[in-house]
A and B are shown apart, each in its own frame.
Chain A
C-alpha cells in the first residue's frame, strides 16, 4: 500500500516536473507565446475564455462518443464475423487493411459531399478511425479461443451461438478492452480531423480559427482540452477493463470483487 502511494507520488511529480520544465525553459530562453506559449499562459487562456471554449469542447466530446459507440458496435459485429468464419476472414481482412491504410483526412471531403459539413462527417470519421483496432482485436481474440474450451461446450451439445456467448466472447474481452483504449483516443483524432476540415463547431474548428489569427495560446488550450478528454476516456475504460477482465491478469481485486 505504502509502496503504491510512493509510486503514485513519484509519477505525479515527474508529470508536474515536465510542465514546470516547459515553463522554465520558455522563460529562460524568452520564447515568444506565438511560437510556444507557457503552460501558465495556456491555463490562463483556458480559464478566462472558458465560456467561449466549452461549447466547442462539448461538441467534440459528443461527436467523438457517438462515433466511438458506432465504431464499437460495428467493430464487434465485424470482428465476430471475421473471427468465426474462415471465408469472412479471407475476404474482409485484406479489405480492412487496405481501408485502414487510407489517410482519413482524404475521406472527410467525401463525407462532406454525401452528408454536408458539420457533425455527421465528424461522427463518421471518428467511427472509421476506431473500427480497425476493434475488429482486429475481437477477431484475434475469437481465433485465439482454446479448442479445449470449445470442446467442453461441444460435448454438452451447445449450439454455435451458446459457444460464442459463453466461451468466445468472454475469452475475447481482454483483447477487446485493449483495443478500446487505443480506439478511444483514435476517435478524438478522427473527430478533430473532420472538424478542422469541414465544420463550424468543435475544438478542431476552434483551433483552426485560433491559429489563423495567431492566437497560439488558444490553439494550445484546445490541445490541452483534447488531451484531457482523451485521458478521461482512457481512464474510464481502464477502470471498466479492470472489473471485467481481471481474470486475465489474475488480479486479486477481481477475485474479491467478482
Chain B
C-alpha cells in the first residue's frame, strides 16, 4: 500500500513490457500452450489492438497485463515494475458488462473510486457530491444521462456495456484494457461506441490495449495492430495504423483503410492455411 496519492511518474518508456513470456495450461502430458514465447513492448499513450481468431492468446496477454493470470515463463512489466507491484491505474472493460447486480448504475460506475487510490481515501467525503457529479458527467458522455438510478437488469445489453465502459474510465486510468467490449453489440451501437472511445482517447491519452476479432474495429481505433495466430498463440504481424485522427466511419470506406484490413485479413488467412497443412 503506497501512501503517496500521486501517480508515480514513470519514464516515457514502455508502459507494457512482455519479456519472453510463455503461458501453458495443464501438466506434462496434456499441456496446452496458450501463448508461445512472446515479447511485446507498448509505449506510453499508444493504442494497440490485438487481433486474431479465437484461441490465439490475445485475451491471455490481456490477463497477464491485468494481473489476473501469471506467466509460466518470462516477465511481465507494467510501467517498469513486475506486474502486481506497480501502481499504475488500470481500467478494464470486459466482453460482458460484469456490472454488480446489487448496485445501481451510478454506484457501479463509482466502484473504482471506492477501491483505487488516491480516490478511495476521500470516498466517504465525496461520494455524495463531487464523485456523483463525475459519474453523471461520465454517463452523459456515453448517452446514459438520467440512468444512474436504474439497476443493471433494467437496461439493455448495449446500455450495460456503455455503463461498463464508464466504470473502466471513471478513475482516469493511465492504462486501459479492453477485452472485446464491443463484440456483443449491434453494428450501429458498436460504431457509436467506437467514436466515443476514440474521443476519450484523444482527450485523455491513456495507453490502451484492445483485444478484438474485428479488423475494422482495430483499424478504426488503434494506432498499432498486432495480429496473432493460434496453436500456439503468438504475434505474427505488427503494423502501425497511419490514418489521421479523429477518424470517422467514412474513413473506413476509403481505399487505404480497406487495403489495410485486407492485408491483415490475408495475413490471418495465410497463417491458418499453413496451419491446416501442418496439421
Q: Does B102 contact A (CB under 8 A)?
A: yes
CB distance A247 to B151 under 8 Å?
A: yes
Q: Using Cβ atoms and an 8 Å threshold, which residues of chain A touch B129?
A: none
Known A155-B92, A155-B177, A157-B116: A170·B66 in contact at CB below 8 Å: no
Q: Using Cβ atoms and an 8 Å threshold, which residues of chain B touch A157?
A: 67, 90, 115-116
Q: Using Cβ atoms and an 8 Å threshold, which residues of chain A touch B81?
A: none
Q: Using Cβ atoms and an 8 Å threshold, which residues of chain A touch B67?
A: 154-155, 157
User: Which residue from B98, B115, B150, B153 sits with its C-beta under 8 Å from A166?
Assistant: B115
Best-surrounded residue of B68, B94, B115 (most CB of chain A within 10 A): B115
Tell which of A33-41, A54-62, A145-153 binds the partner.
Answer: A145-153
User: Which residue from A146, A166, A255 sits with its C-beta under 8 Å from B151?
Assistant: A255
Q: Does B26 contact A (CB under 8 A)?
A: no
CB distance B90 to A156 under 8 Å?
A: yes
User: Which residue from B94, B96, B103, B112 sits with its C-beta under 8 Å from A156?
Assistant: B112
With A and B bound together, what is the CA distance between A155 and B91 in angstroms?
Answer: 7
CB distance A155 to B68 under 8 Å?
A: yes
User: Which residue from B115, B151, B154, B177 sits with its C-beta under 8 Å from A153?
Assistant: B115
Interface string of B85-116 (1 = CB under 8 A from A): 00000111010101011111000000110111
CB distance A248 to B94 under 8 Å?
A: no
Known A152-B92, A154-B66: A173·B102 in contact at CB below 8 Å: yes
User: Taking the nearest CB of chain A, how far is it from the CB of B69, in angstroms?
Assistant: 10
Dominant secondary structure at the B interface? loop
Q: Does A258 contact B (CB under 8 A)?
A: yes
Best-surrounded residue of A146, A154, A156, A248 (most CB of chain B within 10 A): A156
CB distance A149 to B100 under 8 Å?
A: yes
User: Taking the nearest CB of chain A, how far is it from the CB of B158, in angstroms?
Assistant: 18
Interface string of A125-155 (1 = CB under 8 A from B): 0000000000000000000001011011111
A residues 182-214 near B (Cβ < 8 Å) are none
Q: Using Cβ atoms and an 8 Å threshold, which residues of chain A touch B98?
A: 146, 148-149, 151-152
With A and B bound together, what is the CA distance between A223 and B52 in angstroms?
Answer: 70
Q: Which 5 A-B pairs have the closest CB atoms?
A: A155-B92, A247-B102, A156-B115, A155-B66, A170-B102
- 19 other A-B residue contacts (CB within 8 Å) besides A166-B114, A171-B102: A146-B98, A151-B92, A152-B92, A152-B94, A153-B115, A155-B67, A155-B68, A156-B111, A156-B112, A157-B67, A157-B115, A157-B116, A170-B100, A173-B102, A247-B101, A247-B151, A248-B102, A255-B104, A255-B150
